[in-house]
């Protein structure tokens, strides 16, 4: 994390080509949304009892996943080739922010056949095995690398604007960063769903308190980390933190067949968003980031227990649930301190 926030604005790379700059970023972002939706649908189908051993690899969910990711690769390939036709070298032809994405695309392309070979050698994974299988993790890593290319491109423009003095940014300029950052959080959350409170229903007594508390702290750090990384680099638009916090939690609530949690998570995300904006206006960076780090996960965890209490299924004592909220705040605070630049 860096110590200053930049403002994202339009740059001249949008003007010379219809498939460049923000236009490319928005098209890639739309494809990423499609592919990530397929991932969530696929995981939900497995939770409901779908088995590779019985149904095979070719499923509608996989078609959605791979078509979305292939569409991103196609867009980048077209953008590179158009730049080559204009005389750019291979390195210069790669759109800004998409270089690491091409590495991820190669990893994804290798991991796909590798996954089929893994299944043929060791058999199909089941339950948690599917989330920690090396080839599945390689697919997730490669996919996230190239699907967050619009995020890196937007951050690159933000760094330029910090030097040249850009104007105020809105969703048009910053949307690809917020949306792909949110989808990266969804992927990370899905692949650690075995620890997520919305999936475990932490606090209802069906899962051991130690397991549930560990999961709460893992995901408190995860969501605080995403918010802190982005908010320390750009001045996030209103609603950005709402999306970053609510969408991953809502996806896991839906996967875990607990959709009644979604309104509570959305409400917590809105409160976190307002709190972040208020603290940014009132506090210097050294105090703002630790406060945001504490406030975001504590609000989310608190809303989870509030939902269970209203539903009448909260079985934890006040010692457990209040302590969980406090520890979530501590985890986020430490992350905020780590991301705060040292005094000079």
Instruction: Output the DSSP codes for 314-337.
Output: --S-HHHHHHHHHHHHHHHHHHHH
Q: How much is the mean pLDDT over the chain? A: 85
Q: Is the whole-model pTM more than 0.85?
A: yes
Which is higher by pLDDT, 234 or 266? Answer: 266
CA distance linking residue 157 with residue 41, whole number of Å = 33
Say whether pLDDT at 278 is over 50: yes
In this predicted model, what pLDDT tens digit does every residue of 238-274 receive, in sequence order? Answer: 999 999 999 999 999 999 889 999 999 999 999 999 9
Q: What is the pLDDT of residue 343?
A: 66
Which is higher by pLDDT, 173 or 1? Answer: 173
In sequence order, which residues have a C-beta less than 8 Å from that of residue 34 and are 6 or more positions away? 64, 67, 68, 71
Asked if 3 and 340 touch (Cβ cutoff 8 Å), the reply is: yes
Average pLDDT over residues 294-317: 95
Q: How confident is the model at residue 12 (pLDDT cuts 50, 70, 90)?
A: very low
Q: What is the pLDDT of residue 91?
A: 81
**Which tokens belong to 1?**
């994390």
In sequence order, which residues have a C-beta less than 8 Å from that of residue 60 and are 6 or more positions away? 41
Q: What is the pLDDT of residue 52?
A: 54
Half-sphere exposure of 222 (CA within 13 A, CB side): 26
User: How is residue 234 annotated by DSSP?
Assistant: B
Q: What is the pLDDT of residue 284?
A: 66
Share of the chain above pLDDT 70, in %: 88
Top mean pLDDT of 2-6, 51-55, 127-131, 321-325 is at: 321-325
In sequence order, which residues have a C-beta less than 8 Å from that of residue 47 and are 6 or more positions away? 255, 256, 257
CA distance linking residue 259 with residue 240, whole number of Å = 22
| CB neighbour burial string for 44-82, b if at least 16 within 10 angstroms, e if fewer | bbbeeeeeeeeeeeebebbebbbebbebbbebbeebbee
| CB neighbour burial string for 218-256, b if at least 16 within 10 angstroms, e if fewer | bbbbbbbbbbbebbbbbbbbeebbbbbbbbbbbbbbbbb
**Sole residue written with tokens 């917590």:** 268
Say whether pLDDT at 14 is over 60: no
- Among the listed ranges 148-152, 195-199, 282-286, 327-331, which one has the minimum average pLDDT value? 282-286
Asked if 185 and 229 touch (Cβ cutoff 8 Å), the reply is: no
């Amino acid at each position: 994390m860096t110590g200053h926030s930049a403002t994202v604005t339009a740059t001249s790379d949008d003007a010379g080509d219809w498939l460049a700059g923000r236009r490319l970023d928005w098209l890639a972002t739309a494809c990423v949304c499609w592919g990530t939706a397929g991932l969530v649908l696929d995981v939900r189908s497995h939770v409901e009892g779908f088995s590779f051993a019985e149904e095979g690899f070719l499923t509608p969910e996989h078609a959605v996943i791979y078509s979305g990711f292939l569409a991103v690769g196609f867009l980048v390939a077209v953008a590179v080739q158009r730049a080559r036709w204009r005389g750019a070298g291979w390195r210069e032809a790669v759109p800004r922010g998409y270089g690491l994405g091409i590495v991820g695309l190669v990893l994804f392309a290798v991991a796909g056949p590798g996954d089929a070979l893994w299944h043929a050698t060791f058999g199909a994974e089941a339950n948690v095995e599917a989330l920690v299988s090396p080839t599945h993790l390689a697919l997730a890593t490669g996919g996230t690398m190239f699907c967050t290319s619009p995020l890196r491109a937007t951050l690159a423009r933000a760094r330029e604007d910090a030097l040249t003095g850009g104007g105020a940014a809105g969703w048009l300029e910053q949307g690809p960063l917020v949306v792909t950052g949110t989808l990266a959080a969804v992927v990370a959350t899905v692949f650690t769903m075995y620890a997520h409170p919305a999936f475990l229903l932490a606090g209802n007594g069906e899962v051991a308190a130690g397991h549930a508390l560990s999961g709460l702290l893992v995901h408190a750090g995860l969501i605080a980390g995403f918010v802190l990384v982005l908010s320390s680099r750009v001045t996030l638009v209103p609603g950005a933190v709402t999306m970053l916090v609510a969408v991953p939690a809502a996806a896991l609530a839906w996967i875990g067949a607990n959709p009644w949690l979604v309104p509570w998570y959305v409400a917590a995300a809105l409160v976190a968003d307002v709190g972040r904006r208020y603290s940014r206006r009132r506090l210097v960076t050294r105090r703002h980031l630790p406060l945001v780090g504490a406030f975001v996960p504590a609000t989310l965890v608190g809303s989870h227990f509030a939902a269970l209490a209203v539903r009448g299924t909260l079985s934890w004592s006040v010692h457990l649930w209040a302590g969980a909220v406090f520890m979530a705040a501590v985890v986020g605070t430490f992350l905020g301190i780590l991301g705060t630049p040292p005094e000079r």
